[in-house]
Amino acid sequence: MSKDSVTRSATKILLDGGDPDETRRIRDRLGFLDGQTTNPTYVAKNPEVQGRVASGHKLTEKEQKEEYKSIVQRISPLVGSAGVSIEVFADFNTTAEQMLAQGEEMYGWIPNAYIKYPCIPEGLRAARMSVERSIRVNMTLCFSQEQAAAVYAATKGTYEPAYVSPFVGRLDDRGENGMDLVRSLKRMYAHGDGHVHVLTASLRRLDHLVYAIALGSELVTSPAKILEEWAAKDFPLPDAAFRYNAVDAKGKPLSPIPYKDLDLTAPWESFNLKHELTDLGIERFVSDYKSTLAPAYPKAG
C-alpha cells in the first residue's frame, strides 16, 4: 500500500503526542499528517518540560501555559485539516465557565485549534457554549454511547464538525472491547445529521488503527510508535479478509459492549454521563498536570 492510497482513505490520521520534533519526524516518515491530539499527560512528558523539571525548575501555572502554547504553535503548521486538539485543565470542581475561558484563550493560540473538554456535565455545558461561539470542540474521555449521544445533542448547530474521542485502549485495558464502542457510535450517528465525527483514541496496537479505518471512523489518533510500525509494514489498510481479533495483550477475549438504542433528539442533560473511566481519566490528567508544577501552584484556575 502506498502513502498516496493512505492519503485517499477516508479516515484522517492524527498523531497523539506533545513533542513538535516527534510531529515533524512522523510527518516526514508518513509523508503526511492530518492532525494532532495533545493532552496534559503529553505536555508533562514533553522533553523541554521534562528538562526544566529535571534541572530543578518546576513550573508556575503561567510558565506551564506558555510551554503548552509554544508546543502547539510549533505543531500547528506541521499538520493538515484535522487540526490540533488542545485540552483545557479540568478537575471535578472546574465550572463550564472556567473551562470555556481557557478554551477561548487556547483557541486564539493557533488557527487550526480544536478545544478538548471532558465528557462530564460541565464539559458538555462548556461545549455547548463553545459551539455557540464558533469554537471547534473535541469531546474527550468518552467511554459510553450515552456520553456520545449527549455530545451529539450538545454540539448541534456547530459550524464545523465536532469530534468525539472514544478511548478504546483504556476499555481494552480492563477487559472490555473498546472497538465495540467505535462501531456503536458509527451506527448510532448514522441516524443523525453527521455533525459529530468519531476520533478513535487511546490506541494500544496497530490493529486498533486498521480496524478504526475499517469501521469508517472519520479520524484516528495514534502514538508515534504505532504510526512508525504502520509505515514500516507499508501502510496496511483493511481489505476484505481483514478480521479484528478482540483479545487483550495476553490473548484473552475481550467482553463485548452491547449496542443501545438511544434517541439523538433528546436533550443532552437527559443522558447518563457517568463513567468510572472518565473520572479516573480526569484524575490522571490532573495528577500529570500537577507533576510539573511548583508546590505554590497546585492547580490551574
Cα gap 149→230, rounded to integer Å: 32
202 is an interface residue for ligand E4P by CB under 6 A: yes
Cα gap 279→286, rounded to integer Å: 11
Q: Which of 12, 65, 116, 290 is catalytic?
A: 116
The half-sphere exposure of 157 on its side-chain side, counting CA atoms within 13 A, is: 11
> What is the SS3 assignment for 242?
coil
292 is an interface residue for ligand E4P by CB under 6 A: no
Could you say which of 15, 16, 82, 120 contacts ligand E4P (CB under 6 A)?
16
| Number of residues lying near ligand E4P (CB under 6 A) | 11
Site string for ligand E4P, 203-232 (x = CB under 6 A): ------------------x-----------
Eight-state DSSP code of residue 124: H
Closest CA to 41 of 128, 131, 141: 141
Cα gap 62→171, rounded to integer Å: 34
- Determine contact, residues 277/171, Cβ cutoff 8 Å: yes
The half-sphere exposure of 278 on its side-chain side, counting CA atoms within 13 A, is: 25
By CB under 6 A, what part of segment 22-41 binds ligand E4P? Answer: 37, 39
Q: Is 45 a catalytic residue?
A: no
- Smaller CB distance to ligand E4P: residue 35 or 235? 35
Site string for ligand E4P, 126-145 (x = CB under 6 A): --------------x-----
- Smaller CB distance to ligand E4P: residue 35 or 273? 35
Could you say which of 80, 121, 161, 169 contacts ligand E4P (CB under 6 A)?
169
User: Least distance in Å: CB of 201 to ligand E4P?
Assistant: 4
170 is an interface residue for ligand E4P by CB under 6 A: yes
Query: What is the full DSSP assignment across 4-69?
Result: HHHHHSSSEEEEE-S-HHHHHHHHHHHS---EEE--HHHHHH-HHHHHHHHTT-PBPHHHHHHHHH
Could you say which of 79, 84, 142, 201 contacts ligand E4P (CB under 6 A)?
201
279 is an interface residue for ligand E4P by CB under 6 A: no
By CB under 6 A, what part of segment 39-78 binds ligand E4P? Answer: 39
Cα gap 66→45, rounded to integer Å: 15
Task: Give the residue numbers marked as catalytic.
Answer: 116
Q: Which residues bind ligand E4P (CB under 6 A)?
A: 16, 37, 39, 140, 165, 167, 169-170, 201-202, 221
